[in-house]
């Protein structure tokens, strides 16, 4: 008899799970059925969502048409994140997501980030050797026109996307072949009295039996918490925000579309701005310990210079499930964890979690469950610590920023900063994930640390002085890449013009 894997909830996480499970069963020649239970009576919220490059890699893997995805989901290109007013007021820095070391020859035993180390030693912004930094500044797409009028990629680097979350979920659903669907609301579950495993879901359309269940019900956490009583690990003592006020702002006619996420620090939190092809999905993530919702609205209206119409005001507890996998149920997406959307960790985390689960743990032994839970906990804890590093700021201009400096910088961030005052960050400072899947490692930390002024130039200079030959090669590479990217970026297609061409 076929194994039955039941996914509760559609949306981006649910349909990613369906796609990746079907692929795993096909690769492993397993007889399994994938079922998605979602209710048409529960509307999808079309908020702006950002991804990392791993989402594009996933599209490529499944041979899904990237241009069709951009067109059908009103998606835009994302080269990175622009951080405004985080270090201090009227200061900005960018975090481009391409890694220039990927196009360079590794220099023996030299650290994998030797180009970043050279840039810090030379007093150059780390961003200068990133093609995506130039494309980001000039509002370009990652393609140029060939003489025959077809697009050609500007580089081998994977970019990311912004999109309407509701449209993306529908698009993934359309391309999830061989998946059964049931339109029903889940009201509970029938469990085995001895093992506690879920045997069937209780819905208005009858019972839905299964061997394994994936909870993609978002903040409701219908199975992992509602049925199985999963415990929540709060990050409130490290990450200081606990409310979000989302709203939309329409794009103006002819307005160029920025190919980056804007993260704009405010008096008691920060504002996100994620462009789709028709509007900006925006929101204020803030702490209600320092600001009421009414005052939050006023603060954003002053910052933007116009009135806003909040779509909601959500209170949340940032954190994760203590165990993302309990009995025969695995939580994914917002059912598993929630972090402020500063570094697009949500969809990235779901994709990598599915990679680990489908590659290593489909046999579902107790050992598999323990190993997966340890991995998922560490992954989200690492996300927490990376986001926490963004709050190491010179700002003390409001009670919120004073409190952050005194109370909210966690021990992992403090330990790393202390260590990196005596040495430069290196790959060996980060424990790789199973399968060495993409994670928050030194290539993502460098632009943030550099932008916040947290790297020691003297240490970088001493590192380069230990190997004059490496310094010479690094300088040659940095000069060459900088010249090449400054020359080639203006030749790229404008972002809006490219999207309109689709």
Q: Which residues are catalytic, by number?
A: 78
401 contact partners, CB below 8 Å, separation of at least 6: 267, 393, 395
Report the candidate in 86, 407, 405, 383 with the shortest Cα–Cα distance to residue 236.
Answer: 407
Given a contact cutoff of 8 angstroms between Cβ atoms, the answer to whether 409 and 388 are in contact is yes
Sign of CA dihedral 495, 499, 500, 502: positive
3-state percent breakdown (helix, strand, coil) of the chain, nearest 5: 40, 20, 40
Instruction: Round to whole Å and give the CA distance between 496 and 303.
Output: 25
Task: Sort strands 186-191 and 151-153 into parallel, antiparallel or unpaired.
Answer: unpaired
Helix (H) or strand (E) holding 19: helix 11-27
Q: How far is CA 500 from CA 70, 159, 255, 497, in A?
A: 10, 19, 12, 5
Instruction: Round to whole Å and give the CA distance between 3 and 127.
Output: 49
Report the candidate in 417, 389, 446 with the shortest Cα–Cα distance to residue 121.
Answer: 446
Q: How many CB atoms lie within 10 A of CB 303?
A: 14
Instruction: Round to whole Å and give the CA distance between 243 and 318.
Output: 10
User: What does residue 402 show for φ and ψ, rounded to 5 degrees?
Assistant: -65, -45
Given a contact cutoff of 8 angstroms between Cβ atoms, the answer to whether 451 and 87 are in contact is yes
Of the CA atoms within 13 Å of residue 171, those in its CB half-sphere come to 19
């Amino acid at each position: 008899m076929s194994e039955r894997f039941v996914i509760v909830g559609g949306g981006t996480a649910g349909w990613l799970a369906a796609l990746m499970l079907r692929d795993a069963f096909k690769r492993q020649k397993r007889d399994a059925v994938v079922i998605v239970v979602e209710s048409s009576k529960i509307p999808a919220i079309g908020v702006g969502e950002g991804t990392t490059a791993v989402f594009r890699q996933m599209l490529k893997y499944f041979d899904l048409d990237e241009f069709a995805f951009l067109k059908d989901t009103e998606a835009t290109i994302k080269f990175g994140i622009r951080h405004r007013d985080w270090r201090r007021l009227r200061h900005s820095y960018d975090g481009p997501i391409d890694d220039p070391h990927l196009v360079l020859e590794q220099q023996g035993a030299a650290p994998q980030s030797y180009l970043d180390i050279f840039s810090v030693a030379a007093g150059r912004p780390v961003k200068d050797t990133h093609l995506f930094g130039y494309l980001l500044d000039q509002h370009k797409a990652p393609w140029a026109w060939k003489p025959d009028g077809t697009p050609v990629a500007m580089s081998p680097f994977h970019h990311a996307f912004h999109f309407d979350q509701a449209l993306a979920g529908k698009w993934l659903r359309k391309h999830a072949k061989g998946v059964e669907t049931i339109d029903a609301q889940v009201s509970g579950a029938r469990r085995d009295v001895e093992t506690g495993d879920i045997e069937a879901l209780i819905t208005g359309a009858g019972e839905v039996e299964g061997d394994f269940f994936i909870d993609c019900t978002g903040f409701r956490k219908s199975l992992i918490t509602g049925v199985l009583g999963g415990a929540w690990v709060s990050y409130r003592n490290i990450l200081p925000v606990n409310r979000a006020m989302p709203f939309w702002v329409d794009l103006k006619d002819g307005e160029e579309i920025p190919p980056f996420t804007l993260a704009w620090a405010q008096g008691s939190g920060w504002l996100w701005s994620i462009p789709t092809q028709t509007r900006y999905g925006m929101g204020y993530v803030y702490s209600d310990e320092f600001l009421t919702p009414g005052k939050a609205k006023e603060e954003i209206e002053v910052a933007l210079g116009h009135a806003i119409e909040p779509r909601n005001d959500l209170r949340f507890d940032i954190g994760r499930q203590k165990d993302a996998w309990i009995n025969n149920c695995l939580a994914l997406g917002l059912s598993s964890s929630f972090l402020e959307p500063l570094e697009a960790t949500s969809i990235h985390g779901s994709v990598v979690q599915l990679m680990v689960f489908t590659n290593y743990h489909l046999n579902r032994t107790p050992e598999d469950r323990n190993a997966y839970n340890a991995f998922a906990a560490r992954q989200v804890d690492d996300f927490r610590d990376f986001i926490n590093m963004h709050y190491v700021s010179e700002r003390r201009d409001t009670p919120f920023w004073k409190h952050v400096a005194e109370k909210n910088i966690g021990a992992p961030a403090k330990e790393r900063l202390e260590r990196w005052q005596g040495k430069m960050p290196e790959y060996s400072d980060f424990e790789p994930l199973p399968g060495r899947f993409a994670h928050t490692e030194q290539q993502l930390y460098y632009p943030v640390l550099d932008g916040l002024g947290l790297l020691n130039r003297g240490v970088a200079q001493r590192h380069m002085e230990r190997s004059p030959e490496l310094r010479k090669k690094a300088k040659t590479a940095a000069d060459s890449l900088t010249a090449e990217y400054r020359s080639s970026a203006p030749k790229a297609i404008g972002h809006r013009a490219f999207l309109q061409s689709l």
